Structure 1
Amino acid sequence: MNDALRIFACNSNPALANEICAKLGIPLSPVEISRFSNDNLQVQIRENVRERDVFVVQAFTEPVSDHIMELMITLDALRSASARRVTAVIPYYSYARSDKKDAPRISITGRLIADMLITAGANRVLTMDLHAEQVHGFFSVPVDHLTAIPTIAEHFRRNHDLANMVAVATDAGGAKRVGRFSERLDIPMAIIDKRRVDDTSVKQGHVVGDVKGRDAVIFEDEISTAGTLLSTIETLRAAGARSVHAGAVHGVLCGPAIERLRNAPIESIVVTNTVHMPPGKHLDKITQLTVAPLFAAAIERIHSGESVGALFE
């Protein structure tokens, strides 16, 4: 590997960063992140990065604001240290959910954070499975948008009988994503059509597609509180699904998610390690796949000037 390549990690997911470095055969470069007595953050880069090609791994996970500030200050420190190019590697970009002005007097925060990253010193961004693909266009620097769909699809191919399986989108907005997943496995798909049933905003799900007697796999970009997943499971069970499974790229699993999933009538849940999963969030029914090889391959291609899109051809 070229000596000009350096990889740093902030505090959100050092395990993923270490695994990426192991795949590339290089050590994780040292950075010291500390706090002053007034709670202000300080970041010090602990090695020479002058004219180096630098990548910083940081997911926007809880505590989100702290992790964003860590990344911003690290990017600025690297720019001040004369790094040749700085790439922000953001496995999970949580503010991709804030992609439009759907209420009066609110911020399109996905765009705001993009602007802040560039101001801080990011020359490029590498991310995975944005909740809203149009967020890609919020950046005025190059963005490489990876997907874990092939990784998750391969897990289901190896561990399940696909002959009786159907992929399920939790709503019409997720149909395009689930369509790519179902095409990868060459299985049919169904969509949950949510209808408002009265003025209290209660929604009732109806299945568009055939799930009776079939093994349904719900596919999402992320699982946060698991509320949508839980209602989808109930709808599929009521529609006669033989078994229910779920796949999601980002296993955020916040709030009541773990307790909901612990008691939910679902056979298996597959997520990736874009989000660090502490011991308290482990359940026997949850499998976590690694996306480190994909990020490592993308970093190697960016560093050497090769096509990142070719990884998915």
Structure 2
Amino acid sequence: MSFSDLKLFALSSNQDLAKRVAAAIGMELGKSSVRQFSDGEIQVNIEESIRGKHVYILQSTSSPVNDNLMEILILVDALKRASAESVNVVMPYYGYARQDRKARAREPITSKLVADMLQVAGVNRLLTIDLHAAQIQGFFDIPVDHLMGAPLIADYFERRGMVGDDYVVVSPDHGGVTRARKLAEFLRTPIAIIDKRRSVDKMNTSEVMNIIGKVEGKTCILIDDMIDTAGTIAHAADALQEAGAVAVYASCTHPVLSGPAMDNIQNSAIKKLVVLDTIYLPEDRLIDKIVQISTANLLAEAIIRIHEKRPLSGLFALNKNK
């Protein structure tokens, strides 16, 4: 299969994933370099011709969020000025997605600002996985291809026989019910919901209020789109154990895992935490409790289908992304 008019570039956030995506497509990464001046300014250089090419940039806006976002914007500008036919951003993890609405007076809607910045820079299409808020797609006037991590996570549990009524998929909040229901459909399990109240004054904290659904005597599988400090997921796991769960597994698409996350996970009732590689985790963060699944084949297939103008609907089914 030839992709002579397709180029894939990687910036700083997730080089390992980008190399695996390129290998899955059957191509090499484009040649570019990133450097910072002593005052923190970022410079991105393209080291090969991309005239007339359909270019894909793979970069998550994970920590350092602002540097990684700025790298994308600068490379997009360089590509447009170098006569790329189209510039498509593959952003496995879309940073600032939690700032999708005004929760209090005078707050910004920063996820909309990021969408505006990408479009003004010249992005023609965005490919991402599990936006924190699906309505962010509506912040764009360009095509947004929104992939799901649930089939990959479901495949992990299905391969281990974790299906049926002895298991229950648990959403850690009301907002994640749709996500939990999709995983439960794949695994043929019931669902439960943790009713919690998040503090508006304390970042990353919440209080478990009630568990809706039967978890006693069952193995629970928590699922969320992202885990940041892991306080919420650890608290939820402990509450499920206290409610009589036999064992508690957790899963998420985006392992932000900042601050005290590793300690919270290690000291919680979570038996295994299954995450995707939308955010790079160095070896010292991959503790025994964490299992990381690659999105490389999923992203590679999505890029190929977009490039060949084929639908992506086949990527939303179980067992399609092995």
TM exceeding 0.5: yes
Change (3 A) 1:160 1:205: farther
Candidates 210, 215, 218, aligned match of 1:211: 215
Whole-Å Cα distance in 1 between the matches of residues 178 and 163 of structure 2? 20
Whole-Å Cα distance in 2 between the matches of residues 211 and 225 of structure 1? 25
Whole-Å Cα distance in 1 between the matches of residues 155 and 33 of structure 2? 38
TM-score of the two chains, using structure 1 as the length reference: 0.96
Which runs of structure 2 are paired with 1:237-276 in the superposition (5 Å)? 237-276=241-280
Candidates 297, 300, 319, aligned match of 1:293: 297
Alpha-carbon RMSD across the aligned residues, in angstroms, is: 1.7
Whole-Å Cα distance in 2 between the matches of residues 202 and 310 of structure 1? 37
Q: Partner of 1:122 in structure 2?
A: 123
Whole-Å Cα distance in 1 between the matches of residues 197 and 86 of structure 2? 49
SS at match of 1:99: coil
Cα displacement (A) at 1:309? 2.2
Contact 1:205-1:235 at 8 Å conserved across structures: no
Whole-Å Cα distance in 1 between the matches of residues 312 and 208 of structure 2? 41
Contact 2:162-2:187 at 8 Å conserved across structures: no
Q: Partner of 2:13 in structure 1?
A: 12
Cα displacement (A) at 1:202? 7.5
Question: Relative to structure 2, which stretch is displaced further, 156-165 or 51-60?
Answer: 156-165
Cα displacement (A) at 1:312? 2.1
Change (3 A) 1:20 1:220: same
- Contiguous gaps of at least 5 residues in structure 2: 318-322
Whole-Å Cα distance in 1 between the matches of residues 304 and 312 of structure 2? 9
Q: Partner of 2:146 in structure 1?
A: 145
Cα displacement (A) at 1:38? 2.9
Whole-Å Cα distance in 2 between the matches of residues 295 and 45 of structure 1? 23
Change (3 A) 1:210 1:109: same
Higher helix share: 1
Whole-Å Cα distance in 1 between the matches of residues 206 and 194 of structure 2? 15
Cα displacement (A) at 1:107? 1.1
Whole-Å Cα distance in 2 between the matches of residues 170 and 312 of structure 1? 23
Q: Partner of 2:158 in structure 1?
A: 157
Report the residue type matching 1:25 in the other structure.
G
Cα displacement (A) at 1:311? 2.2
Candidates 231, 236, 239, aligned match of 1:235: 239
Report the residue type matching 1:235 in the other structure.
A
Contact 1:6-1:29 at 8 Å conserved across structures: yes
Whole-Å Cα distance in 2 between the matches of residues 193 and 12 of structure 1? 34
Question: Relative to structure 2, which stretch is displaced further, 266-275 or 153-162?
Answer: 153-162
SS at match of 1:162: coil
Cα displacement (A) at 1:161? 3.3
Identity among equivalent positions (%) equals 42
Contact 1:178-1:189 at 8 Å conserved across structures: yes
Q: Partner of 2:181 in structure 1?
A: 179
Contact 1:248-1:271 at 8 Å conserved across structures: yes
Whole-Å Cα distance in 2 between the matches of residues 185 and 242 of structure 1? 18
Cα displacement (A) at 1:171? 1.1
Contact 1:205-1:232 at 8 Å conserved across structures: no
- Contiguous gaps of at least 5 residues in structure 1: none
Question: Relative to structure 2, which stretch is displaced further, 187-196 or 261-270?
Answer: 187-196
Query: Which structure 1 residue ranges, 4+ long, deviate > 4 Å from structure 2?
Result: none
Q: Partner of 1:103 in structure 2?
A: 104
Cα displacement (A) at 1:282? 1.1
SS at match of 2:96: helix
Candidates 282, 306, 313, aligned match of 2:310: 306
Whole-Å Cα distance in 2 between the matches of residues 210 and 52 of structure 1? 54
Cα displacement (A) at 1:235? 1.0
Q: Partner of 1:278 in structure 2?
A: 282
SS at match of 1:118: helix
Count of paired positions: 311
Whole-Å Cα distance in 1 between the matches of residues 209 and 287 of structure 2? 27
Whole-Å Cα distance in 2 between the matches of residues 235 and 146 of structure 1? 31
Cα displacement (A) at 1:186? 0.9
Q: Partner of 1:63 in structure 2?
A: 64
